[in-house]
Amino acid sequence: MQMGTPMRDLPLSKVYQLLEPGPVVLLTTAHKGRANVMAMSWHMMVEFEPPLVACVVSDANYSFAALRETKECVIAIPALKLAPKVVAIGNCSGREVEKFKAIGLTPVPAKRVSPPLIAECFANLECRVVDTRLVTKFNLFVLEVLKAWSDPTQKNPKTIHHHGHGRFTVDGEMIKLRSRMP
């Protein structure tokens, strides 16, 4: 990380604990010298370690061509305080808008991929596309997380979960039950 940000290494073995609960995430790409970002809820874990993640990026999205052609992206996870920016990101297209500047997000160079991290997010996952067999039919990409970062200054971040048409539930209480599952 650069710019004096406080991001720390996050062990790849813990990535599933961030994505499995289904938060809205941001997906950054970089294509033809320009970074872009979209909001995304259609993602899931596929494997623990190395972490594999599947996601759907509609071919109607400006990010689709960037992801398919560069095979690189960053999944950045925003906490509740970024919710208005998340919706602003979803309400415009990279075709017309330089979103990082227009919306006020700080791009930070990643270590393993070209798309930027987002300084304001509490976690950032550098990813490359590892399977494209379901892209033509379903716009479904399989990604490998190469490097993960977390911001230790954001303690117990509450994430948001999309229910459609701008309605989001915010993380409530955490409960702990005796489970044998990872």
Q: Which residues bind a second copy (CB under 8 A)?
A: 14, 16-17, 20-23, 39, 41-47, 52, 54-56, 83-84, 87, 90-91, 131, 133-134, 137-140, 142, 158, 160-182
Closest to 74 (Cα-Cα) out of 31, 43, 122, 113: 113
Q: How far is the CB of 114 from a second copy (least distance, A)?
A: 25
Q: How far is the CB of 132 from a second copy (least distance, A)?
A: 11
Q: What is the spatial distance between Cα 182 and Cα 177, in angstroms, rounded to a whole number? A: 12
User: Can you say whether residue 69 is alpha, beta or left, with left for phi > 0 and alpha for psi between -120 and 50 degrees?
Assistant: alpha
Q: Which is nearer to a second copy, 46 or 97 (CB)?
A: 46
Q: Which is nearer to a second copy, 108 or 144 (CB)?
A: 144
Q: Which is nearer to a second copy, 16 or 149 (CB)?
A: 16
Q: Are 145 and 157 in contact (CB under 8 A)?
A: no
Take residue 45 and report the two structure tokens written for it.
Answer: 């874990």
Q: How far is the CB of 155 from a second copy (least distance, A)?
A: 15
Q: How far is the CB of 108 from a second copy (least distance, A)?
A: 25
Q: What is the spatial distance between Cα 54 and Cα 113, in angstroms, rounded to a whole number? A: 18
103, containing H or E segment: helix 99-103
Q: Which is nearer to a second copy, 147 or 161 (CB)?
A: 161
